[in-house]
Amino acid sequence: MQQENKKVTYSFKNDYSEGAHPNILQALVASNLEQQDGYGEDQYCHAAIETIKEKLQDPNVDIHFVSGGTQANLIVISSILRPYESVIAADTGHISTHETGAIEATGHKVNTIDVKDGKLSPKKIKNLLDLHTDEHMVKPRMVYISNTTEVGTIYKKQELKDLHQFCRENDLLLFLDGARLGSALCSSENDLTLAEIVKLVDVFYIGGTKNGALIGEAIVISNEALKTNFRFNMKQKGALLAKGRLLGIQFLELFKEDLFFQLGNHANQMALKLSENIIELGYQLLTPPQSNQIFPILPNKTIEKLKENYAFYVWSKIDEETSVIRLVTSWATKETAVEAFIEDLKKI
Amino acid sequence: MQQENKKVTYSFKNDYSEGAHPNILQALVASNLEQQDGYGEDQYCHAAIETIKEKLQDPNVDIHFVSGGTQANLIVISSILRPYESVIAADTGHISTHETGAIEATGHKVNTIDVKDGKLSPKKIKNLLDLHTDEHMVKPRMVYISNTTEVGTIYKKQELKDLHQFCRENDLLLFLDGARLGSALCSSENDLTLAEIVKLVDVFYIGGTKNGALIGEAIVISNEALKTNFRFNMKQKGALLAKGRLLGIQFLELFKEDLFFQLGNHANQMALKLSENIIELGYQLLTPPQSNQIFPILPNKTIEKLKENYAFYVWSKIDEETSVIRLVTSWATKETAVEAFIEDLKKI
Amino acid sequence: MQQENKKVTYSFKNDYSEGAHPNILQALVASNLEQQDGYGEDQYCHAAIETIKEKLQDPNVDIHFVSGGTQANLIVISSILRPYESVIAADTGHISTHETGAIEATGHKVNTIDVKDGKLSPKKIKNLLDLHTDEHMVKPRMVYISNTTEVGTIYKKQELKDLHQFCRENDLLLFLDGARLGSALCSSENDLTLAEIVKLVDVFYIGGTKNGALIGEAIVISNEALKTNFRFNMKQKGALLAKGRLLGIQFLELFKEDLFFQLGNHANQMALKLSENIIELGYQLLTPPQSNQIFPILPNKTIEKLKENYAFYVWSKIDEETSVIRLVTSWATKETAVEAFIEDLKKI
Amino acid sequence: MQQENKKVTYSFKNDYSEGAHPNILQALVASNLEQQDGYGEDQYCHAAIETIKEKLQDPNVDIHFVSGGTQANLIVISSILRPYESVIAADTGHISTHETGAIEATGHKVNTIDVKDGKLSPKKIKNLLDLHTDEHMVKPRMVYISNTTEVGTIYKKQELKDLHQFCRENDLLLFLDGARLGSALCSSENDLTLAEIVKLVDVFYIGGTKNGALIGEAIVISNEALKTNFRFNMKQKGALLAKGRLLGIQFLELFKEDLFFQLGNHANQMALKLSENIIELGYQLLTPPQSNQIFPILPNKTIEKLKENYAFYVWSKIDEETSVIRLVTSWATKETAVEAFIEDLKKI
């Protein structure tokens, strides 16, 4: 089936335009007629959990698979906070504006902090804490960060250590949204490992949907106090899939070898190639290219021309004649598509 | 991969032990590298919706795909009720006890009615309504029924018509949980069509997960007043999948021909074969076999013996020496497994 | 101001028909122009808390004042339970049907148990617990009881001890709704003291509204783990009154001497006098008279006749010609009203 | 009773430090032993409602009494919005930061807008609306404003008309928090009447607590669509007082003559006298004095000195040596206290 009204050669709109990596589909086919227990108690989920624990170098974490990022966020946050507690997020954070009030729908305020680069720091959080002094205000209790952030930047090891330290000192829990963690960990500027992240946050998730799976995020809980009865929360929010094997099989494929990292790396390489060539053609980027999302600044006329062959989002306006666009690459982006884009840009 | 500690030949525990019908996997593979829009706006979702509308003989319904039954129930109910309104359900109803308070978590009371056969009737509902007289009590506003019910029975056309009529007269909305609608519509006792259901209820869903899909339920809204902004509710509850194509592709396969009904029919045939043979062997069933769930009454010793080779749930106790078991068949149940079970039962 | 369409001489409809005991109004007048801190941090609240602690013989409890019973129930329950946890209550319990889903609106299921006498017992609770086995169901975590119950009965010391013991053994918290605790503790059959209740439950409240105050319930938390940040929950639910002194002044009056018990005793005496005379006239009561609510069984014709001069609720139907009525007395019920009622009954 | 550790002569901390206007206490005493129906169905509530309707010159509004501002806000907002809808407020708005997440606890996001003067305008709201484009974000549906605002400013008639018009054009509902409406309507700069407000907003409330009552806010609903079953929402949130007469009696006293306006006027006069004298002494105010809250800018040393005799809040820091304080006057503020404050300030 071809999208009827689609004339573009390639879409750089996001990293979930294609299906799953072929290995995953193959594994689904191979296991299809086996009978397995339901609701995540099948052998594949068990095997995937053991495999991921090895990659995390921590046998004590709890791991749960859910369908998507908003679901992961709302379950993690609502299962941890008391009714009067809030979560702190960057204003660019996914939970702040792009989840239709999913967190508030579970009863909790999201305290937002204005940022430019998508990242929170102890200083910014401290300012917010200082404003929350008594029972007439919510009690901020959790810090939510995304890696990569929603604007394509990444957290360096020292930044995460500082946040970790600050949270410990201020009785805050640290939650990392890793919907694009594959791209973050494969960034050329990254100096963090999965094993280090486990130790620096209380809970995080490893995104499958945006890194080669059909659906699926793996929630990893390292803080002992947050583990109790987590599956009750999942069931209550509609997140326990009857055929939970669908999630287990995918994560087993992603982690039994290093497929997860290969896919993240490919996406980043494609973004880097785009960046380098765009810069070489004399254009600037809004932010340094650190992951699979880049933000070139182009003349509006050039943008209009590019739209004839490529799909992408116009991110923001610089001035009357110039705008920022967002290009996203994925595990499935073909090098030929990148080259064609650059060739077309040259001709404009 | 084989379940290591599994010595049983076959599991009759439920209808979601296997993966998906092979046609579905094939369609996933065939479309895998196409680029499609996200969040249910892909061509497959659109095509599946058009196809189902044709089967429903109603171009005006709204159709949305979600991952599972609990998710469907909580989104439908919470999107419709005002804060002080409640939903009426049989005590056997899935929302009453088997969803970890998912409905209450959205703020709504479930008013339960004691039933034996899993079914609600105008008379039973009337009794409950009569007890709710003023603002010191919730206002019952919706009736939730399941077809097939959670105890394997089905609603006949006249029963549904009576409920429809009663709901209209009492300002109640009627919601049908069709997690096992495939089996219900293929029951030898069924006299309802999909097109008739559309006209008799305000909203219902067609279950994919328990009838051949990996995941997925198709919510059908026929009441105009319930359609507005439904996707906002889906997003807020974490139900909009980034790769929504996963749901569209499956439902297109189930409905582009009559695969959905073939699979429901097969499951029922296997259950019927089990029933007939069990009865022939001199045993009784708790309820007449109407769908893919049957409830044989067997001596405890026989049950223990059967457990050596088969997995199933012991449903309830009759007396010290006799119990009811539940056997569930599915689209994937092999006739040889049924025959083997009967042969083994004969030998005990 | 006289109720225009009111021809009845006296209302036995409830125990909140009159205003407050005159001592309370006098204290409000006397303190009126003093400046006090807001939101329960005034001197009267502090003094009332200290005074009640003395009566409870426990300096370690936390005490908070709120406006009414539904507010107390919803704050206590929602502040304690995790999202997937439920509260167990008798089907006659106030939270079960007479609070418009207030508990469910905070996200929690109320598991109800059928009772005749309004009281829960370990055996009944055990049956319910046995049905809750895994994460597909809510996790019952709290037991809610009322003393007096909603049908006028009271808990004896041994019954409360048994519940206490059972809750400890089953990781359940015990919450006692004391909206009518004054009447319960002044029952001729009562063998419990306030000091004993503190030790036998995790949290309870002392009802002011139905025992001489204008508004107000005093929540007493004895379980250390439930004390943290309770005022945040109060504020979030709109229960922190700016002029919190209104609550403190009232409870100080009720407890600085034994006014609270005098009022409870008077209400009970009036009910007892009604009961004894009604029995003497040859009528029966539905339940033995233990508190300020009694349930005489009368011919419908007699009831109709009584309605000409008295207001009360018809509670339930016995047969075509006989019904149960509910008569409620209060701290303000005049002995002359009771005598007039009896005289009128004699004449019918 | 005197606050033991209180050495200050007078507190300008807020407008709820004293009890109620003596007329109110007198009315409570006079009616105390009358029997009245419960839950707001007494004669006083009915009479107060009729009286307020006359002042509003609108017999068609619905009026309900609740205990306090946070309770009023959470009931109004949660009773109106669908789950995915949000409310827009100034960042200074009471619901934004000073209600412990009360609105979020009912499931709704508060979209905040940065303001200096506490007031929203169509332009600011438009900017926010433009950012909310699809189902991945909440749907802003209500505008919340306060008059007076939380920083002491008031809305002029034209400003409210503009908001009204903008809301109509953008399918937004307009809700006015009138916790300090008495002071607003008695401002020397005010050009609005109660009758005009009814026509310009969909729902608002008239604050009693901060204008002479012990507790109580009168919610006025003029939009027909918002009236249905409102008492169910009140009961569910614990806002229906058993002795609802307490609220009715107070509002009847406030409005049967013009006591409400006399009290608002007195508070404003005291604030004006403070302002004029402070300015005369050479100090500046942060904002022009429009109501019963004023914000003088004073040297820190002066502030420390004043604190010896007066209680008030230090609002914000101007520089190392200068701060803003907040002085609040009330219906009960004595002119002698104002004069003493000015005399003391002169001496510093």
Inter-chain Cβ pairs, chain A and chain D, closer than 8 A: 58
Inter-chain Cβ pairs, chain B and chain C, closer than 8 A: 57
Contact C33 D332 (CB under 8 A): yes
D24 and D215 in contact (C-beta within 8 Å)? no
| Residues D191-234: tens digit of each pLDDT | 999 999 999 999 999 999 999 999 999 999 999 999 999 999 99
| Distance separating alpha carbons of residues D218 and D205, to the nearest angstrom | 5
Percent of chain C at pLDDT exceeding 70: 98
Q: Chains touching chain D at 3 or more Cβ pairs under 8 angstroms?
A: A, B, C
What Å distances lie between residue A235 and B293, C290, C322, CA to CA? 23, 44, 49
- C101, C107, C108 ranked by CB distance to B138: nearest: C101
Numbered residues of chain C with Cβ closer than 8 Å to any chain A Cβ:
39, 78-79, 82-84, 106-107, 135-136, 138-139, 229, 231-236, 240
**Min Cα–Cα distance to chain D from C6, Å:** 10
What mean pLDDT do residues D108-134 have? 96
What mean pLDDT do residues A209-238 have? 98
B241 and B287 in contact (C-beta within 8 Å)? no
What residues contact residue D164 under an 8 Å CB cut-off, 6+ apart? D174, D200, D201
Contact D104 A108 (CB under 8 A): yes
What residues contact residue C148 under an 8 Å CB cut-off, 6+ apart? C154, C180, C181, C183, C184, C187, C290, C291, C292, C293
- Asked, for residue C5, whether it belongs to a domain, the answer is no
Residue of C nearest to A139 (CA): C232
> Do B187 and B265 fall within a single domain?
no
pLDDT at C5 over 50: no
- Say if residue D124 is exposed, middle or buried (CB neighbours under 10 Å; 0-12, 13-18, 19+): middle
Best to test chain B binding among C87, C100, C135 (most B CBs inside 10 Å) = C100
> Do B69 and B96 fall within a single domain?
yes
D267 and D330 in contact (C-beta within 8 Å)? yes
Measured between beta carbons, the chain D residues lying within 8 angstroms of C229 are none
> Do B243 and B336 fall within a single domain?
no
**Min Cα–Cα distance to chain C from B205, Å:** 21
Measured between beta carbons, the chain D residues lying within 8 angstroms of A106 are 107
Angle at the Cα of B259 (from B258 to B265), degrees rounded to 5?
A: 95
| Distance separating alpha carbons of residues D147 and D184, to the nearest angstrom | 6
D130 and D160 in contact (C-beta within 8 Å)? no
| Residues A166-184: tens digit of each pLDDT | 999 999 999 999 999 999 9
What pLDDT shows up at residue D9? 87
Q: What is the CATH number of the domain that holds B153?
A: 3.40.640.10
When computed from its CA atoms, the radius of gyration of chain C, rounded to whole angstroms, is 21
- D106, D232, D240 ranked by CB distance to B139: nearest: D232
Residue of C nearest to B86 (CA): C101
Cis peptide before B322 (omega within 30 of 0): no
- Asked, for residue C80, whether it belongs to a domain, the answer is yes
Q: What is the CATH number of the domain that holds B273?
A: 3.90.1150.10
Question: What is the separation, in whole angstroms, between the first and last Cα of chain C?
Answer: 31
Contact D36 C25 (CB under 8 A): no
- Asked, for residue C268, whether it belongs to a domain, the answer is yes
Single residue among B216, B233, B256 that ends a domain in this structure: B256
| Distance separating alpha carbons of residues D252 and D270, to the nearest angstrom | 25
Single residue among D256, D278, D312 that ends a domain in this structure: D256
What pLDDT shows up at residue C9? 87
Q: Chains touching chain B at 3 or more Cβ pairs under 8 angstroms?
A: A, C, D
In chain B, beta strands by DSSP E: 10-11, 62-66, 85-90, 110-113, 139-146, 173-177, 203-207, 217-221, 284-285, 293-294, 296-299, 310-311, 313-319, 322-328
Q: What is the DSSP string of D202-234?
A: SEEEEE-GGGT-SS-EEEEE-SGGG-TTHHHHH
D189 and D183 in contact (C-beta within 8 Å)? no
Residue of A nearest to C234 (CA): A135
- C84, C107, C135 ranked by CB distance to B107: nearest: C107
| Distance separating alpha carbons of residues D201 and D198, to the nearest angstrom | 6
Q: Give backbone dihedrals phi and psi of B4, rounded to 5 degrees, phi first.
A: -60, -50
> Do C137 and C68 fall within a single domain?
yes
- Asked, for residue C4, whether it belongs to a domain, the answer is no
**Min Cα–Cα distance to chain C from D236, Å:** 4
pLDDT at D3 over 50: no
Q: Residue count of chain D, please give it.
A: 348
- B86, B105, B131 ranked by CB distance to C101: nearest: B86
Range of the domain at D323: 10-17+260-347
| Beta-ladder partners of B320 | none
Contact D101 C243 (CB under 8 A): no
> Do C47 and C153 fall within a single domain?
yes
pLDDT at D298 over 50: yes
What pLDDT shows up at residue C221? 98
Least confident of A107-116, B308-317, D2-11, D182-191: D2-11
- Say if residue B329 is exposed, middle or buried (CB neighbours under 10 Å; 0-12, 13-18, 19+): buried
Contact B107 C105 (CB under 8 A): yes
What residues contact residue C16 under an 8 Å CB cut-off, 6+ apart? C209, C210, C330, D38, D242, D243
Predicted confidence band of residue C222 (pLDDT cuts 50, 70, 90) = very high
| Distance separating alpha carbons of residues D247 and D72, to the nearest angstrom | 13
Chain centroid, CA C57 distance in Å: 21
> Do C57 and C158 fall within a single domain?
yes
**Min Cα–Cα distance to chain A from D135, Å:** 7
Measured between beta carbons, the chain A residues lying within 8 angstroms of C105 are none
- Asked, for residue A3, whether it belongs to a domain, the answer is no
| Distance separating alpha carbons of residues C265 and C277, to the nearest angstrom | 18
Least confident of B242-246, C156-160, C285-289: C285-289
What's the total number of domains in chain D? 2
- Of residues B246 and C6, the one with the higher pLDDT is B246
- Asked, for residue B4, whether it belongs to a domain, the answer is no
Predicted confidence band of residue B5 (pLDDT cuts 50, 70, 90) = very low
Number of Cβ within a 10 Å radius of residue A118: 21
| Residues A274-301: tens digit of each pLDDT | 999 999 999 999 988 999 999 999 999 9
Write down the mean pLDDT value for chain C. 96
pLDDT at B4 over 70: no
Instruction: State the residue for tokens 């604007």.
Output: A151
Predicted confidence band of residue A140 (pLDDT cuts 50, 70, 90) = very high
| Beta-ladder partners of A112 | A89
| Distance separating alpha carbons of residues A181 and A194, to the nearest angstrom | 9
> Do A120 and A247 fall within a single domain?
yes
pLDDT at B22 over 60: yes
What residues contact residue C266 under an 8 Å CB cut-off, 6+ apart? C331, C333
> Do C243 and C300 fall within a single domain?
no
Show the DSSP H helices in A57-176 as ranges: 69-80, 94-97, 102-105, 122-130, 157-169
Measured between beta carbons, the chain C residues lying within 8 angstroms of A135 are 229, 231-232, 234-235, 240
pLDDT at D2 over 50: no
Q: How many CA atoms lie within 13 A of B166 on its CB side?
A: 19
Contact C29 D34 (CB under 8 A): no
- Asked, for residue C1, whether it belongs to a domain, the answer is no
- D107, D131, D138 ranked by CB distance to A107: nearest: D107
Single residue among B198, B231, B256 that ends a domain in this structure: B256
Least confident of A41-45, B7-11, D22-26: B7-11
Write down the mean pLDDT value for chain A. 96
What pLDDT shows up at residue B3? 47
What mean pLDDT do residues A316-332 have? 96
> Do D275 and D245 fall within a single domain?
no
| Distance separating alpha carbons of residues B329 and B264, to the nearest angstrom | 10
Helix, strand, or coil here: A322? strand
> Do D237 and D265 fall within a single domain?
no
Inter-chain Cβ pairs, chain C and chain D, closer than 8 A: 182
D152 and D293 in contact (C-beta within 8 Å)? yes
What Å distances lie between residue A34 and A216, B1, B6, CA to CA? 21, 8, 12
Measured between beta carbons, the chain B residues lying within 8 angstroms of C136 are 98-100
**DSSP conformational letter for B318:** E
> Do B179 and B104 fall within a single domain?
yes
| Beta-ladder partners of D142 | D87, D173
| Residues A29-84: tens digit of each pLDDT | 999 999 999 999 999 999 999 999 999 999 999 999 999 999 999 999 999 999 99
Contact A34 B18 (CB under 8 A): yes
Measured between beta carbons, the chain D residues lying within 8 angstroms of B234 are 135
Q: Which amino acid is at A218?
A: A
Least confident of A55-59, B182-186, D283-287: D283-287
Predicted confidence band of residue B243 (pLDDT cuts 50, 70, 90) = very high
| Residues A102-139: tens digit of each pLDDT | 999 999 999 999 999 999 999 999 999 999 999 999 99
**Min Cα–Cα distance to chain D from B233, Å:** 6
Measured between beta carbons, the chain B residues lying within 8 angstroms of C133 are none
Number of Cβ within a 10 Å radius of residue B322: 16
Residue of A nearest to B232 (CA): A100
Q: Which amino acid is at D56?
A: L
- C16, C28, C44 ranked by CB distance to D25: nearest: C28
Predicted confidence band of residue C6 (pLDDT cuts 50, 70, 90) = low
Contact C35 D18 (CB under 8 A): yes
pLDDT at B82 over 60: yes
What mean pLDDT do residues D68-88 have? 98
Measured between beta carbons, the chain A residues lying within 8 angstroms of D108 are 101, 104-105
pLDDT at B6 over 70: no
| Distance separating alpha carbons of residues B239 and B233, to the nearest angstrom | 8
- A84, A234, A240 ranked by CB distance to C236: nearest: A84
**DSSP conformational letter for A292:** S
Measured between beta carbons, the chain D residues lying within 8 angstroms of A135 are 100
Contact A233 C78 (CB under 8 A): no
- B215, B238, B243 ranked by CB distance to A246: nearest: B215
Best to test chain B binding among C88, C109, C137, C138 (most B CBs inside 10 Å) = C109
> Do A135 and A273 fall within a single domain?
no
- Asked, for residue C314, whether it belongs to a domain, the answer is yes
